[in-house]
């Protein structure tokens, strides 16, 4: 494990978290290089016989140092915006290993991605397909396309992160897919090369994966029988992670479901894990500002807030919280809300959490915060974005400095008539 107690102090690899707080302040995200690499290599090893292109989903964590860690392992990138494409390229991921997903690609984004030479566009509707063909034709190019299909499979996850049901905005309905594929083969600016599926995030059972993958494989066989053979199948995001007591699928079982789906198909494999590569490789380090004793509740008010980590209030997500200094043996645990300074009742990191006694100045961490933490941060209440630190063994690096409030204000300006 990359985050462990040593002599009563929580460490990130070989570095005490208290030392990071002393040097860089709080709130600060801390990432473990060793765990990032380990999570990536686990996918590569589980699918070794299929030689997959493992594309890190940048939406989970878009820090350049994190992306570069995966780039140096040979990873590709799953992107959903022009900004993410530029981040991936800047971090060293080749365009030939970039997949552009998302329902709302603009013509400008399409032009930029075509000019860069990305591996494929995951197209999610007929209107998008027609627009992409027009853009490519005007550039005297053909866009490499994977049709993202919606298999109408309930992933059984939070409603805001499920993407594979018929009522979701994502993908082309299975019944419509053959007709859209025929259109793709006829359009002059399109090269239909793949099919794609992604049914959501934080899946902890195999049944939804098996159902979606089987439908994808069956559709691929049908399309291969009526036209040029597909070159790739894109199986979307990876398995869930442990926040509390989840038992995510073993990667060997996940890989077996993919093998079953592609049996008899001569296709390359694309995977797009995000959360499972970075969540448990990061923590959010915070300091207690004060402890408030109420008649009905106890509160630990810390300097990290919902603008730093929105998952608990946005998704009602349970995330582990622990003190940096291990509680003494036999310490009394009692329910406490861990909250931030923002003027919102929804500004909390944990509710009714059994915690040891905390005092002003104590350090705590929110665990499994490497995914959808800093990437979803904001400057709400004019709070600067948190700093980010990467650890490798005994080395640390500040990979995103804490924003300066004066610099934030300087990015704005008065209207001419206010000068």
Task: Provide mean pLDDT across the span 182-208.
Answer: 93
Looking at the structure, do residues 397 and 259 belong to the same domain, yes or no? no
CATH number for 156:
3.20.20.10
d(CA 352, CA 404): 34
Task: Provide mean pLDDT across the span 336-360.
Answer: 96
Task: Provide mean pLDDT across the span 65-74.
Answer: 98
From 271, 288, 305, the end of a domain falls on: 271
From 216, 251, 271, the end of a domain falls on: 271
What residues act catalytically?
343
Pair of tokens at residue 290: 């004060």
Looking at the structure, do residues 214 and 293 belong to the same domain, yes or no? no
DSSP assignment of 120-147: EEEE-SHHHHHHHHHHHHHTT--EEEEE
Task: Provide mean pLDDT across the span 304-319.
Answer: 96
Q: Which residues of 191-217 are buried (b: 16+ CB within 10 A; e: fewer)?
A: bbbbbbbbbbbbbbbbebbbbbbebbb
- CB-neighbour burial class of residue 70 (10 A; exposed 0-12, middle 13-18, buried 19+): buried
Task: Provide mean pLDDT across the span 302-320.
Answer: 96
Report if residue 203 sits inside a domain.
yes
Looking at the structure, do residues 236 and 110 belong to the same domain, yes or no? yes
Looking at the structure, do residues 203 and 297 belong to the same domain, yes or no? no
Task: Specify the residue for token string 């490519």.
Answer: 136
Looking at the structure, do residues 258 and 172 belong to the same domain, yes or no? yes
Q: What is the pLDDT of residue 295?
A: 83
Tell me which of 263-272, 330-339, 385-394, 396-405 is least confident: 330-339
Looking at the structure, do residues 300 and 204 belong to the same domain, yes or no? no
Report if residue 75 sits inside a domain.
no
d(CA 219, CA 211): 12
List, for residues 168-190, the tens digit of each pLDDT value.
Answer: 556 899 999 999 999 999 999 99
Looking at the structure, do residues 203 and 137 belong to the same domain, yes or no? yes
From 244, 271, 298, the end of a domain falls on: 271
- Is the confidence at residue 1, as pLDDT, over 80? no
Q: What is the pLDDT of residue 350?
A: 96
Please, are residues 381 and 306 in contact by the beta-carbon 8 Å criterion?
no
Report if residue 65 sits inside a domain.
no
Report if residue 338 sits inside a domain.
yes
- The Cα-based distances of 268 to 35, 53, 58, 181 in angstroms read 27, 8, 22, 19
3-state SS class at 326: coil
d(CA 168, CA 162): 8
- Is the confidence at residue 359, as pLDDT, over 50? yes
Report if residue 232 sits inside a domain.
yes
Task: Specify the residue for token string 């970075």.
Answer: 278
Q: What is the pLDDT of residue 161?
A: 41
Report if residue 78 sits inside a domain.
no
Looking at the structure, do residues 296 and 213 belong to the same domain, yes or no? no
Looking at the structure, do residues 201 and 345 belong to the same domain, yes or no? no
CATH number for 309:
2.40.37.10
Q: Are strands 268-271 and 53-57 parallel, antiparallel or unpaired?
A: parallel
Report if residue 308 sits inside a domain.
yes
Q: What is the pLDDT of residue 88?
A: 98
Closest Cα to residue 13, out of 41, 46, 37? 37
Report if residue 57 sits inside a domain.
no
Looking at the structure, do residues 288 and 246 belong to the same domain, yes or no? no
Tell me which of 189-198, 200-209, 383-392 is least confident: 200-209
- CB-neighbour burial class of residue 58 (10 A; exposed 0-12, middle 13-18, buried 19+): buried
Phi, psi of 369 (to 5 degrees): -105, 10
Instruction: Calculate the average pLDDT of the chain.
Output: 94
Q: What is the pLDDT of residue 160?
A: 41
Looking at the structure, do residues 189 and 304 belong to the same domain, yes or no? no
List, for residues 128-165, the tens digit of each pLDDT value.
Answer: 999 999 999 999 999 999 999 998 875 554 444 444 34
Strands (E) in 13-101, as ranges, are: 15-16, 28-32, 53-57, 76-79, 98-100
Q: What is the pLDDT of residue 165?
A: 43
List, for residues 96-124, the tens digit of each pLDDT value.
Answer: 999 999 999 999 999 999 999 999 999 99
Of 36-45, 243-252, 289-298, which one has max mean pLDDT? 36-45
Of 198-207, 220-229, 325-334, which one has max mean pLDDT? 220-229
Helix pair angle (126-138, 177-186), 10° resolution: 10
Looking at the structure, do residues 238 and 299 belong to the same domain, yes or no? no
Count how many domains the chain has.
2
The boundaries of the domain holding residue 186 are 102-271
């Amino acid at each position: 494990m990359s985050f462990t107690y040593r002599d009563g102090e929580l460490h990130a690899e070989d570095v005490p978290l208290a030392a990071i707080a002393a040097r860089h302040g709080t709130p600060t995200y801390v990432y473990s290089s060793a765990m990032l690499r380990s999570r990536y290599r686990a996918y590569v090893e589980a699918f070794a016989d299929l030689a997959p292109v493992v594309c890190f989903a940048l939406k989970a964590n878009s820090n350049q140092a994190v992306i570069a860690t995966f780039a140096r392992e040979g990873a590709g990138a799953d992107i959903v915006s022009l900004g993410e494409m530029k981040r991936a390229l800047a971090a060293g991921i080749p365009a030939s290993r970039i997949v552009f997903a998302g329902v709302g690609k603009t013509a400008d984004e399409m032009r930029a991605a075509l000019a860069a030479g990305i591996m494929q566009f995951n197209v999610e509707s007929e209107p998008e397909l027609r627009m992409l063909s027009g853009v490519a034709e005007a550039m005297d190019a053909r866009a490499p396309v994977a049709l993202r299909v919606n298999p109408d499979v309930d992933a059984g996850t939070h409603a805001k992160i499920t993407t594979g049901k018929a009522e979701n905005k994502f993908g082309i309905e299975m019944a419509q897919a053959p007709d859209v594929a025929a259109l793709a083969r006829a359009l002059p600016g399109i090269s239909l090369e793949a099919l794609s599926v992604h049914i959501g995030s934080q899946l902890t059972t195999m049944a939804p994966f098996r159902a979606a993958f089987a439908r994808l494989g069956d559709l691929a066989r049908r399309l291969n029988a009526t036209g040029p053979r597909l070159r790739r199948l894109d199986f979307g995001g990876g398995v869930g992670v442990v926040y509390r007591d989840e038992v995510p699928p073993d990667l060997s079982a996940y890989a077996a479901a993919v093998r079953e789906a592609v049996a008899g198909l001569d296709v390359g494999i694309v995977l797009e894990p995000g959360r499972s590569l970075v969540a448990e490789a990061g923590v959010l380090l915070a300091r207690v500002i004060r402890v408030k004793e109420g008649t009905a509740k106890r509160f630990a008010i810390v300097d990290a807030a919902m603008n730093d980590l929105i998952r608990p209030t946005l998704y009602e997500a349970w995330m582990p919280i622990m003190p940096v200094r291990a509680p003494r043996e036999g310490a009394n645990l009692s329910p406490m809300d861990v909250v931030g300074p923002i003027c919102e009742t929804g500004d909390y990191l944990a509710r009714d959490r059994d915690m040891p006694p905390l005092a002003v100045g104590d350090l705590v961490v929110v665990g499994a915060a490497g995914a959808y933490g800093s990437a979803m941060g904001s400057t709400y209440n004019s709070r600067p974005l948190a700093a980010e630190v990467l650890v490798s063994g005994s080395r640390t690096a500040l990979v995103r400095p804490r924003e300066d409030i004066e610099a934030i204000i300087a990015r704005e300006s008065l209207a001419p008539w206010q000068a």
